[in-house]
Every structure is written in C-alpha cells, then in structure tokens.
Structure 1
Amino acid sequence: MTLESEEFVAEEPRGTLSRDELRADLRPTVLTVVVVALAGVLLGLLWALVAPGQATVTTATGASSPLAAESDHVFDATAIFFLLATAYGVVVGALAWRRVERRGPVTLLGIGLATTAGAWLAAFVGTALAGPLTDRSPIGVLLDRAEATGSAVAGAPIPATLSTVPATIGSFWTVLGAGLGAVLAYLLCAIALGEDDMGRTPGEQ
C-alpha cells in the first residue's frame, strides 16, 4: 500500500506591511498631520462662538461675583469643547479610513497625534478668541442690599454693573478626547471590516 504525502505550504501572513510600504506611508501621513492639526484653528473658532460666558456682577467697591444661575457655565464650556474635540477626532478617523491605499499603523499613529495636536491648538486659539468675541459691555443694575450683603437689614439698592466673563476651558486634559475619538473610530472600522490586511491591496505604495 503506497502512502502519498501531501505538501502543505504555509501561506504568507496577510496584513504585514513591508518596510517600503511603511516608508511610502510616511510622507502622506506627515501631510495629513499638518492639515488636521491646522484644522484645529477652525475648531477653536467654533468653540469660541458657541461656548457660554459667565455673567458677573461688580459693585463700585470692585467686589465681583458670578450670578448663581451662571455657575454651571464653566462646566458647560469645558464639556462643549470636549464634545467638539471628540467629534472632530471621530470625523478625522473616519475620513482617514477611507484612504484604502494608506490603511495601516502609520496612518493610525498619525491621526492620533494630529488630532491631539489640533485639539491643543483649538484650545489655545479658542481661549484667545473668546475674549474679543464675547460682548462684555457693562450694564448698570441695582442689587437688593439685603440679598447682596447677606443680612436681613433692608436699605437702598446697591449700584453695580453686569458684564460677561469670556468662556474658559476648565481642564486641558479634554484635548485627549480628539485623539481617542480618532483612534477608536479607525479601530472600529478595522474591526467591522474583519480582514487582516484591512482591505489594503498588498504591496501598494
């Protein structure tokens, strides 16, 4: 009885990029990083336009205090920036995924760094523009003396001015939302596709 042996040839692993392919990805990725980071200027401008300022009352003696109803606006401005930065990252990650010929670790790392840098630039630009874009024209008001002084003694109203303090970002850690959004969007697209080579044509440069 003759036994015939079958030859098993191991297939080359799919999804492994050569050094030439990785080098070819570097130049377009650097260009993407620059463009995405500069887009942070527009993100900062958008935040400065929509972020709420905080109304503050100032008396003739120079004492100032934010209105009780405005106390949440510091959190609101920070939350708005975080949401805008994260959405910005998700959009960049989805657009980067559409570049089929450049899918891979170089692009993933690039968009993560680019969106984080863009969000940092947005925070810097946004806080710089918030002042000029906020209407800080003072308005004359009269404060109830008993309520303003915290005593039960009534008296003549206290003259004061009402003005708006520009919005601020409570924590610059919020810039990390952009990088996380971009990386997660890119990885979710890769997981949904379910192919080792992420649909990239092998050897394409």
Structure 2
Amino acid sequence: MTPDPAVDEFVREEPRGVLAREELLGDLRPTLVAMVAVALSGVVLGLIWALVAPGQATVTTASGASSPLAAESDHVFDATAIFFLLAAAYGVVVGVLAWRRVTRRGPVTLLGIGVATTAGGWVAAFVGTRLAGPLTDRHPIGVLLDRAEASGSAAGGAPIPATLSTVPPTIGSFWTVLAAGVGAVLAYLLCAIALGEDDMCRPEGPGPEPAP
C-alpha cells in the first residue's frame, strides 16, 4: 500500500539538538575548568586598563585645597568608558573561543561563560583600580596660580604657589563589569544563530574534546 503523501507531511520528526542528561553532565566539568581560567584572565584585563586609562590632573594649594583642572574633567568618564569597552571586547573574544569548542556547545557552556566573564570583569575592576595608583605618575610639580582666577574675583595680587599632580583613574560605575558577561553571551548566541542548525553541529554523545 502506497502511503498517502498528505499524511506523511504531518509525521512528527525526531527532535534534533536535544542534549541528554549524560551529555549535560559531561559538559559540566570542562566548563568549570574553563570558567576558572576565564575569571582569572580578568587580572590581565585589569592590568591593561590600569596602563591605558587616563588619570586626572589636580592642583593642590598650600592650604590643602585641591581642585581638578577644567580640561581634565572628562577623564573621569574616559576611564569608565575605556573599561566598559575593554570588558565588552573581552567578553566577545571569550564567547567566540567558547563557540569553537564544538563538542561542548550548549546551554552549560553558554551559562558558564556568562558567569565567568562577569566574574572576570569584577576581577579586572578590582585589580585595575589597585594597580592604577602605583602605575600613575604622581610626582607633584610646582606651579603658580593666578590669584584672580583662583579666587574667582577681579582682585589681583601675587600668584598662589601650588602643586600639580595626577589622581589615578577610577571606574565610575560597578555596573560596567556586566559588559563582559553580556558581550560573551551575545557573541555565543549570534554564532548559534548564524550557524542555523538545531544541534549546533555538535557530535552525538559526550565524546572526547578534540585536540586544538
């Protein structure tokens, strides 16, 4: 008997890309190892930020009063923006590298890199803000301030002796560390969308990790 093609169109296909419990558990251990390595790599990210983030020049008078230079006010935002961009780029790189591990593609790896890169961003912020002080040239330079400009009045007078030094950069908002996690998750998901395969070309079964 010839099957009716109209009936065959509604035959339910076997789902593709559904991971078994054994496969998910098999992904857990290598993902945890990768998470530790990714989180620790935040130390390098923090060092890079501390080296490139600009400090803020500040003038201090003999009385102890200090004020940042008007031309340096944007550096507070610049330091935070640089950290945000570095963290986002760090997350994208981790997401792409994680996607290249074909035999580990799946929700465990996605969740793992999201958590690990966010932790790496926090490590980078912690390390970077502590390295920024020693890496910033804070040797004071003697300067003379115009008394009329310093006092904000039209009254003239002898210049005011002061010192010019650089304040180390800071990260204005803690939420910038989330850029790393968001970048990693988005990069991973975009790779999956671009591939367009339900099983993400992952081989069946846990299988050994291929040699790089």
Band of TM-score, shorter chain: over 0.9
RMSD, aligned α-carbons: 1.2
2:12 is aligned, of 10, 13, 34, to 10
Q: 1: distance between equivalents of 2:106 and 2:176?
A: 26
Residue 144 of structure 1 deviates from its aligned partner by 0.3
C-alpha distance in structure 2 between counterparts of 1:172 and 1:126, whole Å: 13
Counterpart contact for 2:26–2:206, Cα < 8 Å: no
1:198 counterpart = 2:206:
no
Matches within 5 A, 1:76-155: 76-155=78-157
1:69 paired residue number: 71
Equivalent residue pairs, number:
203
Q: What's 1:161 paired with? A: 163
What are the ranges of 5 or more consecutive residues in structure 2 without an aligned counterpart? 208-212
TM-score (ref. length: structure 1): 0.96
Tell me the distance in 2 between the aligned counterparts of 1:151 and 1:59.
Answer: 17
**In structure 2, C-alpha distance between the alignment counterparts of 1:81 and 1:38, rounded to whole Å:** 17
List gaps (5 residues or longer) in structure 1: none
Q: Provide the identity percentage.
A: 80
Query: Residue type matched to 1:59 in 2?
Result: T
Residue 28 of structure 1 corresponds to 30
Aligned residue number for residue 181 of structure 1: 183
TM-score, normalization by structure 2: 0.93
> Can you list the C-alpha shifts for 1:10-40, whole angstroms capped at 9, x where unaligned?
3320010000000000000000000000000
Match of 2:41, SS state, is helix
